[in-house]
A and B are shown apart, each in its own frame.
Chain A
Amino acid sequence: MIEITLTAWQMLVVKLLIILIIVPVGALVGGYVLHKEMAHMQHRLGPMYAGGWHGWAQTLADGIKFAYKEDIIPASADKRVFSLAPAVIFVPVLLLYLVIPIDRNLIVEDLDVGLFFLLAIGSVGSIGVLMAGWSSANKYALIGALRSAGQLIAYELPIVFSAAAIAMLAGTLSLVGIVEAQDWPFILWPPGLGLALFLLFLVGAMAEMALPPFDMPVAESELITGPFTEYTGMRFIFGFFFAETAHMIAFAAIGTTLFLGGYKPIVPWGPLDVIPGVLWFFVKTSFMVFLLLWIRFSFPRLREDQLQKFAWKVLIPLSLVLILVTGAWVLYGP
């Protein structure tokens, strides 16, 4: 067996390559799951023909189709900003995967400020959306961009507060540390508190990704895919389709790590340790993806001002209260 010794840098490059492969494949699989789950929930079959059994290659075919499409840049658009916007949206989503622990030592870089890093990178996406909306010189895109920027900022806070509460419970910012601290997953252990934090995080994530019922910026019936109306071809794929699915899987993974105990067994019962950590992580993430999609298909859309009112008047005060309760729990609890 030949012995390969890699310096730290080479290891990092290899890991990044793996991420660069996994994320698009994950996005494709995520897209396929989206089609299939939506179909069966709506009492129909979903893609059946693309690529043989149950149309497994549907999203792959879509991807290729979009790649062949002509890449149009509107004449009156601000060229550089217009072409840069999809990258500014997609790259942060990729960076999210750097710090998510798939198994005990299967992690790209275990930053000890992993959680802080996640939240910082997560909010870069809203700049990209603004760039896309403004630069495509289209009245509807502009309205869409303004709405989505307002929404992303409004729902950043609930995620930050719930993450902060988790950090307090786990006592560390490092994601591996958080997972290790969860012999009972946080969603179960502080009995009411964990679930409340999880719901807070879920609502914040849904709004962050502009999924229904928070998809005002992308509201088809009024603004026709909001800021991305003018995009076609590869830009549309990366800026919108891949980014959205990859973002969903990333948030599912973060949710699993923070609340469902990452790669640890769901309940600290002895024989469960036999199952490898990766499998746990995979099962929990797919459950989270199923949950996110399930919510996405069953609700109508909130109105723009209701959305903001819900964030500022309901979610943020609630999250502050939860922070207090977590503090009390950490200090005086068991």
Chain B
Amino acid sequence: MRLEAADALDRVKGALGDRVTDASLNHGQVDLTVEPDRFVEVVTILRDDIALGCRFFTFLSAVDRSTYKFDGDEHREAGSAGSQNGKGGIEVLVHLYSPDMIWHVNLHVPLDFESPVCPSITGVFKGAEWHEREAAEMFGIHFTDHPNLTTLYLSEDFEGHPMLKSFKLPARSYVKAWPGAKDPDEAAAAGGR
């Protein structure tokens, strides 16, 4: 039987109470923000609580919000840690889904930007192993007590974490001389279009 997003939110608030720093609805899905130390606990409750029943582990990833233009923010240099209200760091993003009651929950776990450390949820969801390995190598997040925290995609000797905003992809002109007379990027940089 379907559980509407609104009363799913109330159920979550009821079940989790103060463990969650902020709970809201976003496009029909429940959005939670959790502190790293209560992360595993919240995930276990979401999975085991019959009323919630989030048994389907959809994905775990991370978002580097260091250059995200929050409201009233001007353009900030990539890699500068945290804006005024500490929103601008790295956060682990977990999405769970309840197949019986058809509702979604997005868990945001903000981490410290300099040395992001997050407890691993492979204990709760065995499938999180690969997702955490990928987040570790791409964002440089260290997952504590992870069975096999090695690189998944990148080779061992790859330095740097590619998905961070500070990791620059070679711009076009670096790879190939711009074929035309005027390079639009320079034009754009010079305040053009």
Direct contact of A and B (CB under 8 A): no
Interface residues of B (CB under 8 A from A): none
**A interface residue numbers (CB < 8 A to B):** none
